[in-house]
Amino acid sequence: MSRLDGEPHPDQTLAKAPLPVHEPSLVKEPPPSRPESTRHDRGWRILLINRIPGILAGLPAANQLFFLNPDRPYAPRTLARVGLVYAAIGGLISASVLTPFTRGKEGRARRLLPWTITLVLALVAITDFVLASRYTYYLPPGISRRMIKAGLWLTLLALIFFYTALLHTLQRRPYGIRSRLGLSFLAVASIYVVVERREAFKPFIGPAPLASAVELTQRPTLFVVGLGGASLDAILPLTTQGRLPFFSKLLAEGVYARPESLAPVQGEALWTTLATGRPPYKHGIVSNVVFPAGLVAEDGWISMLPTPVGTFLWNTFTSPKLIDATQRKTSAIWDVLERLDFDTGLVGWPVSDPVPEESSYGFSHRYFQGYFKAPMAQPGELAERGVLFRVAPEEIDPVLLRDLGDRVPYAFLQDLADDLWRESLTMFLLDQQQDAKAIFVMLPGLARVSSRNFGGFAAVNFSGFQREPYLGAAQRTTAYYRHLDQFLSRLWEHEAGPKILAVVSAYGFEAPEGWRRVRALATGRRTNGLYQQAPDGLFMVMGDGFRAGEFLDGVQLVDIMPTLLYSLDFPIARDLDGRVLTEAFSGAYLARHPLTVVPSYETLLPQGGFALFPLITR
C-alpha cells in the first residue's frame, strides 16, 4: 500500500519521539534478597568467631587446674581431655556474651576478635599472678615461680595484641594476611607458654629420712586448747578491765605471742599447719573440700580450682566431699606422740577423722556435726555415749547467760551449746580415761560469735562507741570470752601433777576498715568481724619450764608444734619447717634439756608396728 505524501515513516516517528521521563517512586523497593543459605552460613561464621576468645581462655584455665594441683598426673592426653571440656564451656560463654553485639554483622565480629583476645590474655595473666600470690603457702615454691613466668609471657603477648589492634582501629586498616598469620601464631604461642611452664615443673623428692630412736622419761601432761578466732586484741583489753582472771594468769605466769597467720584463710589448712609444723603445700590440706578427679585422673581428688566459674562448674557436675585425715601427707603432733607411746586424746580437732585407732580416746570434728559412726569416735563404744553429753540451746544454765540480760540471740545459744558439749565430754573423759597424757580440744564457737560481733566489740573498746548495736555485740563477745576463761581455769585445776597448758588459734578477727567498713554499713553488718585478711592468731602457754610474763615476737604457726614437743622433752625432727621457740623457756629448763634432733618422725611406726631397728627405747 502506498503512503500519502508527507506522512512520516514509522521509524522516523520512533526516532523523533521524546524519551519517557521516569518520576521518582515514593515507595522504596526492597533490596534484592540474599539466598537463605548465605545468611545461614554467615550466622555460623559469626558464631564461630565469637567462640574463639572463650576457647582460647578455656585452655589456660585447664592448665591452671594442674598448676593448683601439682600432685595430679600431667600428660598431653590428660591435659587435652580437660582442655577440650574447658574450651567448649569457654566457647559457649564467649559466644553468648558477644553474639548480641555482632548479630548479622560479620565485619564487626572480625574487628572485635583481636580486642577480645587481648582481654582474654590479660585476664589469664592477671589470674596467674593472683593465684601465685594468693596461694604462696599452699603451693610448692617451684610451681608458683613457673605460674608467675607464664603470667609474664601472657602479659607480653597481650601487649602485642593490643598494639596491633589499636593501630588497625585508629588507621581504619583491614587486617592483611601477614597480620592475620602473626596474630594466629601469637594465639597458639599463648597456649604453648602456659603448657611449657607447667610441664617444666618437677617436684623435689628428698632422700628418705633415716630411722629415729627416742628415749622416754617422765613427762608432764599437755593440754592444748584451740579457740577458733581467739585474738589478743580482745584478750588484752578484757584482762585490763579485770574480766578474764585466768587469761590474766596466763599472761602473768606464761608466755604469749601473735603467730602470723597464712592467707587465704582456709580453716582446716591452717589448723593442720599448727598441728603438723608444716605449710599447707607440704601437709596436703589446702582446702575445706575436695572434688573427684574425674577428667583429670582415673582416681584421686582435686583440692583447688581456678576462678569462681571453675568452682561453680565442679560443684554442679561433681559431688565434693569434706576434707579428712586421709588427705593429709604428714603426721600431726598426736600421731607422733602415739608412736612414742605417749597416750593422747582428741576432742573436736579439725581434720582428725577418721580418729586414729591408737588414740586413748578421740572425737573428730565431724562427730559434733552429727556423724555419730565409729570411725568418728574411738574407741567405738564411745560413739554412742558421747551423744549423751549433748546440750540443747534451751537447756543452757541461765547462770552462764547472766552477763547478757534478757536479749540473747538464738545463734549465740547454739554456738555456746556446741562448745558446752565438747567441754563436758572433755572433763568426763579426763576422769574416765586417765592414761591420756596429751589432750587436744577444739572449741569453734568463738569464731562464729566473733564473725557476727567483733566489729561491735572493737567499736566500743577501741573507738569509744556507746550505742546499739555496738554495745550488744561487745557484750556478747565479752560474755563468750568470760565463759572460755572459766573453762580453761577448770581444765588447769583438774591436773595436780606436772602440766602444761597451751591456748592456740590459727587466725584471729579484726574490725572492718576502709571500704570494708563502708560495705558493712551498707549491708547492715556493722558489728561483724573479718578474718579474710588473715589477722594474727594466738599462742599462750604456761607450765613447767616456761618463762613468766614474756611476749614472743616473730612467731609462725609452724613453730608451735616443735615447741610443744620440746616442752615434753622430745627431740625435734629435722624435716619440720618450724623452729623451737627457745626464748619461751627458762634458763634452767634449757640447761637441763639440751635440744636434740632426729632425722624425721615420719619413720616412726605406730604402736605394735614391726621394724628392723629399735624405734623406742626406755
Q: What pLDDT is recorded for position 61?
A: 87
SS3 243: coil
Q: What pLDDT is recorded for position 29?
A: 56
Domains of the chain: 37-199 (no CATH), 214-279+329-350+384-559 (3.40.720.10)
Amino acid making up residue 132: A
Q: What pLDDT is recorded for position 40?
A: 62
Over 60: is that where the pLDDT of 352 sits?
Answer: yes
DSSP 433-483: -TT--EEEEEE-HHHHHHHHHHHHHHHHHTS---STTHHHHHHHHHHHHHH
For range 215-231, the mean pLDDT: 86
As a whole number of Å, the end-to-end CA separation of the chain is 150
Q: Binning pLDDT at 50, 70 and 90, where does residue 427 land?
A: very high
State phi, psi for 218 to the nearest 5 degrees: -70, 130
Beta-carbon contacts of 386 under 8 Å, excluding residues fewer than 6 positions away, are 363, 367, 372, 377, 425
Given CA atoms 409, 414, 419, 421 in this order, what sign does their dihedral have?
A: positive
Question: Contact, 388 vs 481, CB < 8 A?
Answer: no
Buried b / exposed e along 207-225 (16+ C-beta atoms within 10 A)? eeeebbebeeeebbbbbbb
Over 50: is that where the pLDDT of 271 sits?
Answer: yes
| Highest mean pLDDT, choosing among 21-30, 166-175, 239-248 | 239-248
Closest Cα partner for 419 from 351, 335, 483?
Answer: 483
Question: Contact, 362 vs 383, CB < 8 A?
Answer: no
DSSP 335-376: HHHHHTT--EEEES-TT--SPPTTSSEEE-GGGGGT--SGGG
Question: Contact, 491 vs 225, CB < 8 A?
Answer: yes
For range 275-294, the mean pLDDT: 90
Closest Cα partner for 217 from 501, 597, 617?
Answer: 617
Closest Cα partner for 359 from 607, 610, 72?
Answer: 607
Q: What pLDDT is recorded for position 605?
A: 57
pLDDT tens-place string over residues 185-203: 999 999 888 888 888 887 6
Q: What percent of the chain has pLDDT over 90?
A: 48
Q: Binning pLDDT at 50, 70 and 90, where does residue 231 land?
A: very high
pLDDT tens-place string over residues 519-546: 888 888 889 999 999 999 999 999 999 9
Q: How far apart are CA 584 and CA 573, in angstroms?
A: 19
Question: Contact, 286 vs 582, CB < 8 A?
Answer: no
Q: What pLDDT is recorded for position 213?
A: 44
Over 50: is that where the pLDDT of 611 sits?
Answer: no
Paired residues of 504 in beta bridges: 226, 539
Over 80: is that where the pLDDT of 16 sits?
Answer: no
Return the number of other C-beta atoms located less than 10 Å from residue 490's C-beta: 12
Over 80: is that where the pLDDT of 404 sits?
Answer: yes
Q: How far apart are CA 194 and CA 446, in angstroms?
A: 43
Question: Contact, 570 vs 214, CB < 8 A?
Answer: yes
Going from the C-alpha of 466 to that of each of 200, 408, 460, 476, the distances in angstroms are 59, 19, 6, 15
Given CA atoms 305, 311, 316, 321 in this order, what sign does their dihedral have?
A: positive
Q: What pLDDT is recorded for position 206?
A: 58
Q: What pLDDT is recorded for position 36?
A: 52
**HEC profile of 101-138:** HHCCCHHHHHHHHHHHHHHHHHHHHHHHHHHHHHCCCC
For range 114-142, the mean pLDDT: 91
Q: What pLDDT is recorded for position 13?
A: 46
Q: How far apart are CA 506 and CA 280, in angstroms?
A: 13
Q: How far apart are CA 539 and CA 555, in angstroms?
A: 9
pLDDT tens-place string over residues 317-333: 788 888 999 899 999 99
Q: Binning pLDDT at 50, 70 and 90, where does residue 20 land?
A: low
**225-229, 236-240, 310-314: the lowest-pLDDT one:** 310-314
